Chain A
């Protein structure tokens, strides 16, 4: 063997030539990657600047202060046509947050109900839940939004022929109208009472847990909490002389005046998002519950726990560990899917800002970047919150 190393066993192996040295190679690759990436962005930047110049679009965020001059169907903050483009951004953002927030709550509730129903001992309930899941999750969300908006809500009768419930609720193709609560003087005390009740419940739960650990005595936390959260605000409400009136929607010639209303776009979007996401959440919940081994149920029965105690104290806490990570990604999906609002004209961030504002100003780069930044931040925020919760629920090992 001619190329056998000449030195004995104890010495270092000879260094490979630099083009075969992993350390050198890795540095070269990384520098190359950086150079290519830099060149890529540099080209894009140059092209964009050149293109924008020929089209006469100024760069920068100055457009945010200019007057928008278009109306928005629904706004949570005061807005009219004389407000700035910056304001349209906030209006759109708030509408997105509203639909995402409501959707997450409703989809969670519906999803948990259906997920548990799929595991029901009752064959009819289990099969109906399964059919729901298989039908809903295999049909595109956009189609469902269109269906509810165009085929159902727009097919409702007009204002004169509204479907009414007790002359105070109206359902027609302009939306759902309901009495608007008007808070009189002193209603603030009711809110304070509500906050006090929530704080009291938290303290009560802690105390009851300690009491249970120390003496083994169970305190009826649920009934006490229910009493607190209903009782305290009620007492405050009555003590202040019931300062709450309702402003009813009134049927006029061509419109319903007064009252509060939900526009059909919001209803269709919220309903479709809820139903669609609930189907996925139901599957997650089912998988989570099935992941808790049957021995746990048997053990808790052997300890003498009742059915609902088994569910509450043994199954759910363990299932939650499996459920939370995929649940988080469903929440993220729901938030991102809320951007489909554009298709039916619900004024969310994409529809208002990336749609109308972009068309009017032509500031494509700034607007797309701002919109994407918002969704990225929402995504990061939701995963952060859920990660914290997940850490609290995670298995504590020795």
Chain B
């Protein structure tokens, strides 16, 4: 009689290496030094978290209208509530603020589908975002036509101004940046030199000096009598500065396209512009979308600098409200609010760019 040998079943892994206990052993208490760190840091973190929560939520004041409502030890959110309108719309007239809201909603509607893998009409929405949207929002915000009341740019401010600055900065800088990047890789020495000089000049100087230059030197450069407003000057400065960075991002994409693609386009009989437009750029730009988003994040944070030349975006608004004697000791609350606004935008965008990078990373 033959019996088949049956191995006895595997023993389960030791209880100390699996589950919560095992995880804690290897990740929290692997050595005695690690255990000390775990315990000390956890206690410190809990202490600070408790302090922050207590300050920001449990002991904070939200009801009321002015300084007298803030008597507790916690944060005085009444201040933020009171100035909220100013932080979002600047000096934009109350009756016209719906126009800004429409701009916000349109922006959200155009961007929203891009967070989903299979959303339809993504490409069309992208083109609308780059071409139609700026015109529509320009008309909406400025007014003066279609019976809309004219709102001068010196009334613009707050989050709305931040969005306008960063949006225009990126949309205007993209085409210039692409041209500069193509120029930098051109075979014509003069064009290449001009592009390299332009890019390196703007990349080598701080944005503040560019803004200073835009605000004091631009009026000198133009024929006598031409005068244009502060916002436009800032936008020109930001666009020049940003296009240099954009050019370097695009150049990265152009360099990643294998030589065979250029040669194949030439073999098909395409001229320079058609081979770039139809073959090279569609591939290169797709590669650098994460880079463009990262540039955009940097720009979004850099728009805060315009407060130095007297434009009040979110941080400028908070800064002005904080030193306003109507409210005392609200600096922390104001800055925490501004930080929160910027953080939400930047964090969301950086997550988006990371997800894109993972999606596009089809390499090994």
Chain A residues within 8 Å of B, Cβ to Cβ: 26, 29-30, 33-34, 37, 44, 47-48, 50-52, 54, 121-125, 128, 134-135, 138-143, 146-147, 150-151, 154-155, 336-337, 339-340, 342-343, 350, 354, 358, 364-365, 368, 371-372, 375-376, 379-380
Contacts and interface: CB of A to CB of B under 8 A. Distances in A.
* Main SS class of interface, A: helix
Contacts of A376: 200-201, 204-205
Contacts of B194: 33, 37
Interface stretch (B61-69, B122-130, B167-175, B304-312): B304-312
A151 B79 CA distance: 15
Nearest to B190: A30
A51 B65 CA distance: 51
Nearest to A338: B206
Contacts of A29: 188, 191
A339 B28 contact: no
Contacts of A365: 217, 220
A30 B41 CA distance: 63
Contact of A138 (B26, B27, B223, B342): B342
A47 B223 contact: yes
B189 interface: yes
Contacts of B191: 29-30, 33
Interface residues of B, number: 57
Contacts of B304: 140, 142-143
A170 B63 CA distance: 39
Interface of B: 26-28, 30, 34, 37-38, 41-42, 45, 187-191, 194, 200-201, 203-209, 212-213, 216-217, 219-224, 297, 301-302, 304-305, 307-308, 315, 319, 322-323, 329, 331-332, 335, 338-339, 342-343, 346-347, 350
Nearest to A362: B216
B343 A135 contact: yes
6 contacts: A48-B220, A48-B221, A135-B343, A140-B342, A336-B205, A368-B212
B37 A125 contact: yes
Contact of B28 (A122, A364, A379): A122
B335 A146 contact: yes
Given A51-B220, A122-B28, A379 B204 contact: yes
Given A135-B343, A142-B304, A146-B319, A337 B335 contact: no
Contacts of A350: 206, 208-209, 212
